[in-house]
């Protein structure tokens, strides 16, 4: 145990005893004898914000992470005083601030401990840069576990890890690489079936130690800025995560085509190559919605230009691809080539939009185009200009999505692979150095891009994907996990990273399927597709240095397997879209790691392979070569094996068959899964009928199905349809009730209901309370299917 005296010798300073405190409606201010100020603000019954100032003076309160429209308000606040503590009591929990050293503890209303400061707030002055290293330490229980923190490529459970957040271009990173592309300083702690969250909203380089340095201590600190964090009480992980996502914001619904299969490579060019790829997809009837243009479409890597030798008439090409169902997504990087004959460069130079070094010269660095300057995206005027640059690409040429890359920002051949720390930024009118702006640079670039694409693609929805991001960046963009490698370890990492991003408010995420660097074997590619179709974002991308990575490259067996899975994704689009609806409405993650799904079951706390896709589909990828199956944990309850409809009882680990054509997938009993027919791209066909797969259960289960017109904004005016299916199953009776919200009615008329595991012979059928003949509903006894009007209120089967 390190003592305060030892820490003080290292230069750490601490708050002294309380002199006084005062409070208004929602904020309590504590002042200590040595001038430290602690401000506690009640934002919600389950969320408090803590800010510390070492000398009583706070900086201007500004954050890129917090959503301006985040819902606030609480029902109850009592501030009580006793000899040793000041108590802040909300409707959900109690916070105690110690009078002798301002240490803080959080307790449930019945007194059970949630989280206590160990040393609490302390800091170290750093004269040279003028601020302090601000630090916080909390005590940790033996059985406490930790989750979150963005895209870290390490064990899903973070206990025992020390990690830092500094956006970094990490080509071919590995397991346990400490710094990656994104900074999401948010984690959740879980012990005694109590979950809480900490969001440390500080954009400087931040550090997190989860009981690595000391077994019962968790700490987090930053190389500058304020100790400014939010404490969120659960007790359910879902409460914590949805509160965090409310605070930092949710995206709009993406256009449904963005949930289709995407094919990318560095790079498809010239136009004839792009067409060849497109034609091959259609020839093979392999569904695909988007093709990507990597940097070679540009003239000398100048953003917002086209290489006219490779792409003589981009507008025509994009249009023709679109006629064939392909949406074109183009890459845009932040580095602007230094070239006085290049209008984008000239304009930014004249308007003084580029970042500068502390002493005045522009920040100069090498990226793909050679020497570049870099727009300061933290300046609102620059973002506005940047958004306008998309007029031609989106508005005129018809490109449908933009891919922002290298925005950590990455600089080649320099120490640290990024800007020097003295570079200046506007930071929306709070001028600062790169120390503070580094982690938000990519987020602000993606934000400017989002504004532009949204403006010029209106009334259709924008699609943006970024590599770098900061907490809250999910409001603007989707993301991928960067330059991974075609290895089995990276397949494991992709699974963990996407689940972790889902636990960090950034559900719209995927990996480069098959691996970016190097080349996968056919087996690895097939296994990766099997996982990738269950990720919110599904794209094959590769560096192209090591051969082809289109699904037909690996021979007929792999082509057949991958096609079957991509078709399954297209069938599951309405189910996935419903999960997106819950994500954008309520912040519910699209993938649910088992610990999120059932935190009470401690078996789940160390599981990372299995996850729930949406609400009711359990998936467990095969992550090793040459296997015929694997062991996996099935959460409590009963589950149908998707491939043979056998029912298994969970709460235990078991062996599951998984030859190459099979990934273990289980459906929760009672679930109703909506399915579209297979299409080659979203909205290829007029949908005549939606299939509802009903997985019989003795008991009750609710399922949901959200629909709208798949693009555009009418859904915001109520033009959506949100159905809830209430299933009740008995030994000899099944009742299915439907409730519908919203004004939208899809063009098809009927559902095809297919019941799996029906335990009785159907003798009587009641439809909306009237008895009908089996033939009226086209009842097929073989596959237990019915055709029913989609507006049904109740279907009642009697055995
Ligand atoms: C970066 C990106 C990669 C892209 C390449 C060329 O490495 O992460 O996806 O293909 O740059 O633009």
Q: What is the pLDDT of residues 507-556, one digit of tens each?
A: 999 999 999 999 999 999 999 999 999 999 999 999 987 889 999 999 99
Are 652 and 783 within one domain?
no
Strand, helix or coil at 650? coil
Neighbours of 392 (CB within 10 A): 16
Q: Is 335 in the pocket of ligand 1 (CB under 6 A)?
A: no
Model confidence pLDDT, tens digit, residues 194-224:
999 999 999 999 999 999 999 999 999 999 9
Helix 488-502 vs helix 522-532: angle between axes, to the nearest 10 degrees?
10
Q: Which atom of ligand 1 is nearest the CA belonging to 512?
A: 9
Residues of the domain holding 45: 4-141+194-234
CA of 515 to the centre of ligand 1 (A): 12
- 507 is a domain residue: no
> Candidates 171, 409, 516, 542: which one to mutate for ligand 1, based on the most atoms within 8 Å of Cβ?
516
> Average pLDDT over the chain, rounded to whole?
97
Strand, helix or coil at 17? coil
Q: What is the pLDDT of residue 7?
A: 64
Strands (DSSP E) found in 153-297? 162-165, 182-183, 186-191, 194-200, 206-210, 217-222, 227-233, 262-263, 290-293
Q: Which atom of ligand 1 is nearest the CA belonging to 483?
A: 8
What residues form DSSP beta bridges with 751?
Answer: 690, 788
Q: Which residue matches tokens 């009583």?
A: 56
Model confidence pLDDT, tens digit, residues 35-66:
999 999 999 999 999 999 999 999 999 999 99
The residue contributing the CA closest to ligand 1 atom 4 is: 266
Q: What is the pLDDT of residue 544?
A: 85
Between CA 736 and CA 670 the distance in angstroms is 10
User: What single string gives the DSSP state of each residue in 565-630?
Assistant: HHHHHHHTHHHHHHHHHHHHHH---SEEEHHHH-TTSGGGGG--S-EEETTTEEE----STT-SEE
Q: For the domain that residue 129 is a member of, what is the CATH number?
A: 2.60.40.1760
Q: Name the pLDDT band for 8 (thresholds 50, 70, 90).
A: low
C-alpha triplet 360, 361, 367: angle, nearest 5°: 140
Q: Which atom of ligand 1 is nearest the CA belonging to 265?
A: 10
- 419 is a domain residue: yes
pTM comes to 0.98
Q: Which atom of ligand 1 is nearest the CA belonging to 403?
A: 9
Strand, helix or coil at 117? strand
Q: Is the dihedral of CA 720, 709, 665, 642 positive or negative?
A: positive
Between CA 418 and CA 335 the distance in angstroms is 12
% of the chain residues with pLDDT over 70: 99
> Candidates 180, 406, 411, 541: which one to mutate for ligand 1, based on the most atoms within 8 Å of Cβ?
406
Contacts of 218 (CB under 8 A, 6+ apart): 137, 138, 139, 140, 144, 146, 189, 208, 209, 210, 211
Between CA 232 and CA 240 the distance in angstroms is 6
The helix (H) or strand (E) run that includes residue 470 is: strand 469-470
Q: State yes or no: is 289 an active-site residue.
A: no
Residues 528, 513: contact at Cβ < 8 Å? Answer: yes
Between CA 411 and CA 710 the distance in angstroms is 39
Between CA 584 and CA 506 the distance in angstroms is 11
Are 78 and 226 within one domain?
yes
Does the pLDDT of residue 717 top 80, yes or no? Answer: yes
Instruction: Look at strands 539-540 and 262-263 and give their pairing.
Output: parallel
The residue contributing the CA closest to ligand 1 atom 5 is: 266
- 513 is a domain residue: no
Burial of 102 (0-12, 13-18, 19+ CB in 10 A): buried
> How many domains are contained in the chain?
4
Q: Name the pLDDT band for 4 (thresholds 50, 70, 90).
A: low
Q: Is 289 in the pocket of ligand 1 (CB under 6 A)?
A: no
Q: Is 169 in the pocket of ligand 1 (CB under 6 A)?
A: no
Q: Which atom of ligand 1 is nearest the CA belonging to 467?
A: 8
Look at residues 429, 458, 476 and tell me which one is the last residue of a structural domain. 476
CA of 405 to the centre of ligand 1 (A): 7
CA of 741 to the centre of ligand 1 (A): 43
Are 765 and 699 within one domain?
yes
CA of 411 to the centre of ligand 1 (A): 13
Q: Name the pLDDT band for 2 (thresholds 50, 70, 90).
A: low
Q: Is 467 in the pocket of ligand 1 (CB under 6 A)?
A: yes
Q: What is the 3-state secondary structure (H, E, C) of 502-520?
A: HCCCCCCEECEECCCECCC
> Candidates 268, 294, 485, 490: which one to mutate for ligand 1, based on the most atoms within 8 Å of Cβ?
294
The residue contributing the CA closest to ligand 1 atom 10 is: 266
The helix (H) or strand (E) run that includes residue 48 is: strand 47-53
Mean of the pLDDT values across residues 500-505? 98
CA of 715 to the centre of ligand 1 (A): 35
The residue from 483, 523, 567, 610 that is catalytic is 483
Look at residues 447, 476, 505 and tell me which one is the last residue of a structural domain. 476
> Candidates 292, 405, 409: which one to mutate for ligand 1, based on the most atoms within 8 Å of Cβ?
405
Q: Is 298 in the pocket of ligand 1 (CB under 6 A)?
A: no
Mean of the pLDDT values across residues 593-601? 98
Between CA 194 and CA 236 the distance in angstroms is 7
Between CA 523 and CA 530 the distance in angstroms is 11
- 252 is a domain residue: no
Q: Is 405 in the pocket of ligand 1 (CB under 6 A)?
A: yes
Are 598 and 712 within one domain?
no
Q: Which residue matches tokens 């006629």?
A: 323
Q: Which atom of ligand 1 is nearest the CA belonging to 333?
A: 12
Are 664 and 690 within one domain?
no
Q: What is the pLDDT of residue 5?
A: 60
Q: State yes or no: is 422 an active-site residue.
A: no
Strand, helix or coil at 786? strand
Are 597 and 629 within one domain?
yes
Neighbours of 760 (CB within 10 A): 15
Q: State yes or no: is 309 an active-site residue.
A: no
User: Which segments of 80-203 does DSSP mark as H helices, in order?
Assistant: none
Q: Is 266 in the pocket of ligand 1 (CB under 6 A)?
A: yes
Q: Is 294 in the pocket of ligand 1 (CB under 6 A)?
A: yes
Residues 498, 535: contact at Cβ < 8 Å? Answer: yes
Are 333 and 396 within one domain?
yes
Q: What is the DSSP letter of 456?
A: H
Q: For the domain that residue 619 is a member of, what is the CATH number?
A: 2.60.40.1180
Residues 233, 46: contact at Cβ < 8 Å? Answer: yes
Instruction: Tell me the backbone φ, ψ of residue 644, rounded to 5 degrees.
Output: -135, 5
Residues 104, 97: contact at Cβ < 8 Å? Answer: yes
Between CA 620 and CA 632 the distance in angstroms is 7
Residues 693, 672: contact at Cβ < 8 Å? Answer: yes
Instruction: Look at strands 132-139 and 145-148 and give their pairing.
Output: unpaired
Model confidence pLDDT, tens digit, residues 138-196:
999 999 999 999 999 999 999 999 999 999 999 999 999 999 999 999 999 999 999 99
Residues 754, 692: contact at Cβ < 8 Å? Answer: yes
Mean of the pLDDT values across residues 306-335? 98
Are 459 and 599 within one domain?
no
CA of 312 to the centre of ligand 1 (A): 24
- 170 is a domain residue: no
The residue from 117, 179, 408, 567 that is catalytic is 408
User: What single string gives the DSSP state of each residue in 370-430?
Assistant: EEEE-B-TTSHHHHHHHHHTHIIIIIIS---EEEE-STTT--BTSGGGS--TT-EE-TTTS
- 467 is a domain residue: yes
Residues 494, 501: contact at Cβ < 8 Å? Answer: no
Q: Is 483 in the pocket of ligand 1 (CB under 6 A)?
A: yes
CA of 96 to the centre of ligand 1 (A): 49
Q: What is the pLDDT of residue 128?
A: 87
Are 765 and 650 within one domain?
no
- 555 is a domain residue: no
CA–CA distance from 644 to each of 667, 696, 756 (Å)?
11, 14, 11
Model confidence pLDDT, tens digit, residues 253-273:
999 999 999 999 999 999 999
CA of 392 to the centre of ligand 1 (A): 23
Q: Which residue matches tokens 């020839």?
A: 283
The residue from 101, 144, 405, 550 that is catalytic is 405
Contacts of 722 (CB under 8 A, 6+ apart): 581, 704, 705, 706, 740, 741, 742
Contacts of 497 (CB under 8 A, 6+ apart): 151, 152, 153, 481, 509, 511
% of the chain residues with pLDDT over 90: 97
Q: Which residue matches tokens 């727009």?
A: 375
Q: Is 331 in the pocket of ligand 1 (CB under 6 A)?
A: yes
- 177 is a domain residue: no
The residue contributing the CA closest to ligand 1 atom 7 is: 483
Between CA 403 and CA 412 the distance in angstroms is 20
CA of 468 to the centre of ligand 1 (A): 12
CA of 180 to the centre of ligand 1 (A): 14
> Candidates 298, 543, 544: which one to mutate for ligand 1, based on the most atoms within 8 Å of Cβ?
543
Are 651 and 754 within one domain?
no
Are 395 and 468 within one domain?
yes
Q: What is the 3-state secondary structure (H, E, C) of 204-240?
A: CCEEEEECCCCCCEEEEEECCCCEEEEEEECCCHHHH
Contacts of 341 (CB under 8 A, 6+ apart): none
Q: Is 295 in the pocket of ligand 1 (CB under 6 A)?
A: yes
Q: Which atom of ligand 1 is nearest the CA belonging to 266?
A: 10
Q: Is 180 in the pocket of ligand 1 (CB under 6 A)?
A: no
CA of 89 to the centre of ligand 1 (A): 50
Are 696 and 746 within one domain?
yes
Does the pLDDT of residue 448 top 80, yes or no? Answer: yes
Q: Name the pLDDT band for 9 (thresholds 50, 70, 90).
A: low
Q: Is the dihedral of CA 279, 284, 289, 292 positive or negative?
A: negative
Q: Is 482 in the pocket of ligand 1 (CB under 6 A)?
A: yes
CA of 94 to the centre of ligand 1 (A): 48
Does the pLDDT of residue 3 top 60, yes or no? Answer: no
Mean of the pLDDT values across residues 616-630? 98
């Amino acid at each position: 145990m390190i003592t305060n005296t030892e820490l003080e010798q290292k230069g750490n300073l601490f708050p002294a005893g309380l002199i006084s405190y005062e409070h208004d409606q929602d904020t309590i201010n504590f002042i200590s004898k040595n001038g430290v100020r602690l401000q506690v603000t009640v934002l919600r019954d389950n969320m408090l914000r803590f800010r510390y100032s070492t000398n009583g003076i706070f900086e201007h309160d500004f954050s890129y992470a917090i959503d301006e429209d985040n819902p606030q308000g609480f029902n109850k606040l009592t501030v009580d005083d006793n000899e040793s503590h000041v108590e802040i009591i909300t409707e959900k929990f109690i916070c105690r601030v110690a009078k002798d050293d301002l240490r803080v503890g959080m307790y449930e209303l019945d007194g059970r401990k949630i989280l206590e400061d160990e040393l609490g707030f302390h800091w170290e002055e750093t004269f040279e840069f003028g601020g302090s290293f601000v630090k916080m330490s909390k005590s940790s229980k033996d059985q406490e576990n930790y989750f979150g923190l963005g895209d870290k490529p390490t064990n899903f459970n973070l206990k025992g890890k020390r990690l830092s957040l500094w956006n970094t271009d990490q080509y071919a990173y590995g397991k346990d690489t400490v710094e990656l592309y994104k900074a999401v300083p948010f984690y959740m702690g879980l012990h005694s079936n109590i979950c809480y969250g900490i969001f440390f909203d500080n954009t400087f380089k931040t550090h997190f130690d989860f009981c690595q340095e000391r077994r019962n201590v968790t700490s987090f600190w930053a190389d500058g800025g304020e100790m400014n964090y939010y404490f969120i009480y659960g007790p359910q992980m879902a409460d914590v995560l949805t509160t965090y996502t409310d605070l930092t914001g949710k995206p709009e619904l993406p256009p449904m085509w963005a949930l289709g299969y995407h094919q990318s490579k560095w790079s498809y060019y010239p136009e004839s190559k792009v067409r060849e790829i497109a034609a091959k997809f259609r020839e093979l009837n392999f569904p695909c919605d988007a093709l990507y243009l990597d940097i070679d479409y540009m003239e000398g890597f100048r953003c917002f230009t086209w290489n006219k030798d490779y792409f003589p008439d981009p507008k025509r090409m994009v249009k023709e691809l679109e006629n064939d169902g392909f949406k074109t997504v183009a890459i845009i990087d932040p580095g602007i080539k230094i070239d006085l004959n290049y209008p984008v460069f000239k304009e930014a130079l004249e308007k003084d939009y580029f970042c500068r070094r502390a002493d005045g010269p522009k920040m100069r660095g090498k990226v793909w185009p050679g020497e570049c300057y870099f727009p300061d995206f933290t300046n609102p005027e620059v973002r506005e200009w940047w958004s306008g640059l998309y007029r031609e690409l989106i508005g005129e040429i018809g490109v449908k999505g933009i891919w922002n890359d290298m925005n950590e920002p990455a600089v080649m051949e320099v120490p640290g692979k990024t800007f020097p720390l003295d570079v200046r930024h506007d930071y929306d009118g709070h001028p600062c150095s790169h120390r503070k702006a580094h982690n938000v640079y990519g987020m602000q670039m993606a934000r400017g891009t989002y504004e532009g694409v949204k403006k010029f693609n209106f009334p259709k929805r924008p699609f943006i994907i970024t590599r770098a991001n900061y907490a809250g960046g999910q409001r603007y963009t989707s993301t991928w996990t960067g330059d991974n490698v075609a290895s089995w370890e990276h397949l494991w990492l992709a699974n963990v990273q996407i689940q972790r991003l889902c636990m960090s408010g950034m559900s719209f995420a995927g990996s480069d399927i098959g691996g970016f660097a190097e080349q996968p074997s056919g087996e690895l590619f097939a296994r990766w597709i099997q996982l990738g179709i269950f990720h919110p974002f599904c794209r094959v991308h590769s560096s192209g240095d090591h051969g082809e990575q289109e699904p037909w490259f690996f021979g007929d067996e792999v082509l057949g397997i991958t096609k079957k899975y991509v078709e399954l994704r297209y069938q599951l689009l309405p189910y996935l879209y419903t999960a997106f609806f819950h994500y954008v409405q309520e912040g519910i993650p699209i993938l649910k790691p088992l610990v999120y799904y059932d935190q009470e079951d401690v078996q789940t706390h160390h599981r990372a392979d299995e996850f729930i896709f949406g609400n009711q589909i359990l998936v467990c990828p095969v992550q090793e070569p040459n296997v015929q199956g694997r062991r996996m944990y099935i959460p409590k309850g009963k589950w149908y094996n998707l491939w043979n409809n056998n029912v298994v009882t969970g709460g235990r680990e078991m062996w599951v068959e998984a030859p190459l054509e099979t990934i273990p997938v289980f459906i929760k009993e009672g679930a109703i899964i909506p399915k579209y027919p297979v299409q080659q791209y979203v909205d290829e066909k007029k949908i005549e009928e939606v299939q509802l797969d009903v997985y019989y259960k003795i008991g009750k289960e609710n399922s949901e199905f959200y629909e709208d017109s798949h693009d555009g904004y009418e859904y915001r005016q109520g033009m959506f349809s949100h159905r809830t299916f209430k299933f009740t199953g008995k030994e000899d009776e099944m009742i299915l009730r439907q409730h519908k919200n919203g004004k939208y009615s899809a063009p098809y008329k009927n559902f095809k209901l297919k019941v799996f595991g029906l335990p009785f012979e159907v003798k009587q059928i009641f439809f909306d309370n009237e008895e009908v003949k089996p033939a009226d509903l086209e009842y097929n006894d073989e596959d237990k299917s019915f055709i029913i009007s989609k507006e049904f209120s109740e279907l009642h089967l009697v055995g």
